[in-house]
Amino acid sequence: MSGDLPRPRDSLAEATPYRTDTHEAEVRLQSNEWTEPTPLGRYLSPADLESAVINRYPDIAAAKLRTLLARRWGVTPEQVILGNGSNEVLLYTFLVFGGPDRTLLVFTPTYTMYARLGRLTGMRVHEEGVGVPYTLDARRVRDAVARVRPDVVCFSSPNNPTGGLIDDATILAAAETARVLVLVDEAYAEFSGHTLLPLIADRPNLVVVRTFSKAQAAAGLRLGALVADRRIAALYEAARLPYNVGALTQLVAGRIAGDDAALGERVSCITRERGRVAHELHRLPELEAFPSAANFILFRHRTVAATALHAALLARGVLVRDVSSWPDAGQSLRATIGSPAENDRLLDALRGVLAERGR
């Protein structure tokens, strides 16, 4: 018997797994999560656990949860597509609108899963380098769309990893051509206070992605959603895996979605702490920090490589994300805004590293 293995598509022959920082650290500010514990007991009572059964498949349509989210977002339930995390609904985008002989356009640096999923589905991927600071305008977007002629354009707004909000006109410049699907990833929208959801009614080629992993403090729940024109949503629904949102996820997500007080407190805390951390970073002349409308801040040392600064912070017990390997991100680090105590640890660690280097 031959020792040869089945051969993947040529475009996947050298694909590698997606990885995040897994170093042990006392303060973990690398993944843009809500950093304080969110116990399931906050949303589930003993009676819930007795009445929730798992021998049957969950509601395949997740009708109750979709109706609740649709009401909150000002759309109809049929416009809402749910996924096992927002990455799943991103994948559906590329399964439906991607594939060989199709082109994805992204403006880098941005969330690397867009290019990754584009390549996994066989697309040509054009990464239009913007760099840091991330200055993107409608003229540049129109020029890139005319030149690249993409089938799909992805934006993250606020942009990950740079943190800034992309203005509506810039995003809508990509949607001027009806054949182009424009995906707007609003993972951090609650922290910016801005959304393009109301614009879908007049822009049927615009889709918006949301997640429970950030402001809803439920990264471990794995729930994401995509909102689209009902005709586009029907295409997603045809590609969606059956029973992809479990019964407990549906139950807990419904409780979280109705907890406006907790959401407001988290957003207020992050907004306040983000301003404080930014102020302190700007007081360190060796660092350059960039404006953020999200729950993280991008910064870099003016002369020291990101890998060296990352390692020095980790040695002091603080883990941030080194994004210097992301296309066009430069020598940048991204730090989640955590609790006040965690943010103090980050700032103290930075001051200690800078003082040591200045000796």
Sign of the C-alpha dihedral computed for residues 332, 333, 334 and 335 taken in this order: negative
Closest to 120 measured CA to CA, from 26, 282, 9, 242 = 9
For the segment 226-250, the average pLDDT, to the nearest whole number, is: 97
Give the CA radius of gyration of the chain: 21
Q: Global pTM?
A: 0.95
Question: Which has more confidence, 343 or 52?
Answer: 343
Residue 21 burial (CB count, 10 A)? 15
| Domains and their CATH numbers in the chain | 20-39+261-358 (3.90.1150.10), 55-258 (3.40.640.10)
pLDDT, tens digit (0-9, with 9 covering 90-100), for 11-53 = 787 788 887 777 889 999 999 999 999 999 999 999 999 998 9
pLDDT, tens digit (0-9, with 9 covering 90-100), for 266-294 = 999 999 999 999 999 999 999 999 999 99
